[in-house]
């Protein structure tokens, strides 16, 4: 029997309508932010995260200060000992979950767990001490994970030209090397989008 308008107690009729289409939640995507000690990883996560970022900061003790080079970051009083975590919704279909790694090599045993399932990585570099980021670059290359290099513009400037940084890091032409400011939300967003483009290109290859 055909369905027509349904009578209501007030004498009005209600015509059945199609149920509203279910709104799908954005696709969760994991990305890692890596680099040496004090290069701006925690700052980058905090700048872009739409939630209060989770940090595992510990005070730098006299013992740690003797191990970690504070020459270029004399005001730094804490350091990440496990990870930083934040998230950002790129658009209604995509949400990035950001995991920042600890910078010191002595915490390297945690990297495999933090990187598992990540579509790509952003390696943050301080051009005043490029040696500190070699381990992160080598790690992503060895794992075959798409990544980009983001040179943090401390005090609004970098010490070396992009081509010189690429040469010093010995990364392939397929690895983007860009300048960004870890304190600026839009700058961090643009750097993360470059990593997403790298990951997408890898899946389409």
pLDDT: which is higher, 16 or 93: 93
Asked if the model's pLDDT at residue 200 lies above 50, the reply is: yes
Specify the pairing of strand 27-35 against strand 54-59: unpaired
Instruction: Give the mean pLDDT of 179-202.
Output: 94
Share the mean pLDDT of the chain.
79
Q: Which of 17, 157, 37 is nearest to 106 (CA)?
A: 37
Share of the chain above pLDDT 90, in %: 47
Give a yes or no: residue 146 inside a domain. yes
**Number of structural domains the chain divides into:** 1
Give a yes or no: residue 15 inside a domain. no
Confidence tier at 109 by pLDDT (50, 70, 90): low
**pTM (global) more than 0.85:** no
Give a yes or no: residue 75 inside a domain. no
Confidence tier at 147 by pLDDT (50, 70, 90): very high
Asked if the model's pLDDT at residue 65 lies above 50, the reply is: no
Give a yes or no: residue 64 inside a domain. no
Give a yes or no: residue 181 inside a domain. yes
Give a yes or no: residue 74 inside a domain. no
Where residue 11 falls (left for φ over 0; alpha for ψ -120 to 50; beta otherwise) is left
């Amino acid at each position: 029997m055909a369905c027509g308008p349904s009578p209501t107690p007030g004498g009005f009729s209600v015509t059945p309508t199609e149920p509203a289409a279910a709104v799908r939640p954005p696709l969760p995507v994991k990305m890692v932010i890596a680099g040496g000690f004090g290069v701006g990883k925690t700052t980058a996560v905090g700048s872009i995260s739409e939630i209060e970022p989770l940090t595992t900061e510990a005070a730098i003790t006299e013992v740690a200060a003797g191990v970690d080079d504070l020459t270029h970051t004399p005001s730094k009083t804490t350091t990440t000992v496990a990870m930083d975590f934040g998230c950002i919704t790129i658009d209604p279909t995509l949400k990035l979950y950001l995991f920042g790694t600890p910078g010191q090599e002595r915490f390297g045993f945690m990297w495999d767990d933090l990187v598992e399932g990540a579509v790509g990585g952003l390696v943050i570099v301080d051009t005043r001490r490029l040696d500190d980021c070699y381990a992160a670059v080598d790690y992503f290359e060895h794992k075959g994970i798409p990544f980009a290099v983001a040179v943090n513009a401390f005090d609004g400037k970098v010490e070396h030209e992009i081509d010189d940084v690429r040469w010093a890091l010995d990364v392939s032409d397929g690895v983007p090397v860009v300048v960004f400011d870890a304190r600026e939300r839009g700058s961090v967003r643009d750097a993360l989008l470059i990593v997403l483009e790298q990951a997408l290109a890898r899946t389409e290859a």
